[in-house]
Amino acid sequence: MRPGNRTRTRTRTSSSVGVGMGVGMGVGMGMGLLVGCAPTPADYGAARAACGLEPGEHAVVAIEEGRLDLSLDATCATWLGEDLGLDWESFGATPGPVAGGEHSQDLVLFGAWQLVAADYGTVDDLLDEDLPSTWGRGALDHLAGRLDLAGSDPAGALLYAWVTTRIDQVVLDPELEGAGAWFHAGTVWVPVMDHPGQAPPAWMASGLVHEAAHADGPAHVPCADGSHPEVGCDPDLDEIYGTQIGVLRAQAAALDPQAPHAAATESELAQDLAMACGMVNTPGADCARLPPTRP
């Protein structure tokens, strides 16, 4: 890790004007309406540098007692928190290093860190047929065009831009204990989460993409099996869960099988895919299939 002593002057020049509400990271319901606006994305390269990653370098995570040994130093955590608009006060915390994943803000920040640190392949890889949502593919492709991203650019840059242009702030809602997160008008409300297994990093990263998608994505519908009656599912893979599934698949396809965390991350991704596919009324037989690793 590079010592972090960077300073920043980034300010949010505009706020999302998306109107919608939804639940993600597991369960959800939402309605969305896009009003034309072009918020400035956070700087993916700067966030990576603040977290000690060289250009092109992807994180290598040690395994401790079968789990990813995640920790973020103060510079990285503070930077990601600012990019996300993390409302530290609502979490009863102050900006600083995070470790262990025992607090809700840790798990949110691990998700953001995964977006900047993990390999999701290229923009072209992300927008291929492994991303089953035509809505999501179109929206991400549109953003890539607006940002002048090339097909060979890292997909993480596109995902981080997507999340930081649509999410203005992340706030803890203690009343949501055990429930999913909510998106409303640029704010993501997250529940109390107190252990990494409750919200593992790849799930949180894809969950941030899911919540961001509520800014202008299609609304959820009731679940066909009658579960989650107050929230919702997607009718098929063409909507928000299909977009989240594409992110999980992209990470699986780009996973370096030699990395120390490969087995643990693949195991998490398999569970995450099953969870997301379970929120789709007609997911198709192959929804939860892990894609082969890209050569």
* From 17-25, 48-56, 72-80, 167-175, span contacting Zn ion (CB under 5 A): 17-25
* From 14-22, 144-152, 153-161, 186-194, span contacting Zn ion (CB under 5 A): 14-22
Nearest-angstrom CA–CA distance, 247 and 130: 9
N-term to C-term CA, the chain: 28
DSSP secondary structure string, 170-182? EEE-GGGTTS-EE
Nearest-angstrom CA–CA distance, 233 and 136: 16
- Interface with Zn ion includes 24 (CB under 5 A)? yes
Choose between 137 and 220: whose C-beta lies nearer to Zn ion. 220
Residue 105's alpha-carbon distances to 76, 101, 110, 164, 194, in angstroms, are 13, 8, 8, 17, 9
Choose between 103 and 137: whose C-beta lies nearer to Zn ion. 137
Compute the least distance from the CB of residue 184 to Zn ion, in Å: 11
Choose between 29 and 53: whose C-beta lies nearer to Zn ion. 29
Choose between 28 and 186: whose C-beta lies nearer to Zn ion. 28
Identify the residue among 28, 154, 200, 246 touching Zn ion (CB under 5 A): 28
Choose between 22 and 41: whose C-beta lies nearer to Zn ion. 22
Choose between 59 and 179: whose C-beta lies nearer to Zn ion. 179
Residue 45's alpha-carbon distances to 179, 201, 226, in angstroms, are 33, 20, 44
Which residue in the shown chain puts its C-beta closest to Zn ion? 28
Could you tell me whether strands 181-184 and 19-24 are parallel, antiparallel, or unpaired per DSSP bridges?
Answer: antiparallel
Q: Which helix (H) or strand (E) holds 68?
A: strand 67-68
Q: Which two tokens mark 263?
A: 């087995």
Identify the residue among 18, 20, 21, 22 touching Zn ion (CB under 5 A): 22
Compute the least distance from the CB of residue 167 to Zn ion, in Å: 13
* From 20-28, 128-136, 242-250, 262-270, span contacting Zn ion (CB under 5 A): 20-28
- Interface with Zn ion includes 191 (CB under 5 A)? no
Number of Cβ atoms within 10 Å of the Cβ of 87: 16
Choose between 48 and 228: whose C-beta lies nearer to Zn ion. 228
Compute the least distance from the CB of residue 22 to Zn ion, in Å: 4
Q: In this structure, what are the phi and psi dihedrals at residue 73, rounded to the nearest 5 degrees?
A: -75, 175
How many residues of this chain bind Zn ion (CB under 5 A)? 4
Q: Which residues contact 196 (CB under 8 A, 6 or more apart)?
A: 67, 68, 70, 100, 101, 107, 110
Compute the least distance from the CB of residue 227 to Zn ion, in Å: 14
- Interface with Zn ion includes 278 (CB under 5 A)? no
Chain positions contacting Zn ion, by CB under 5 A: 22-24, 28
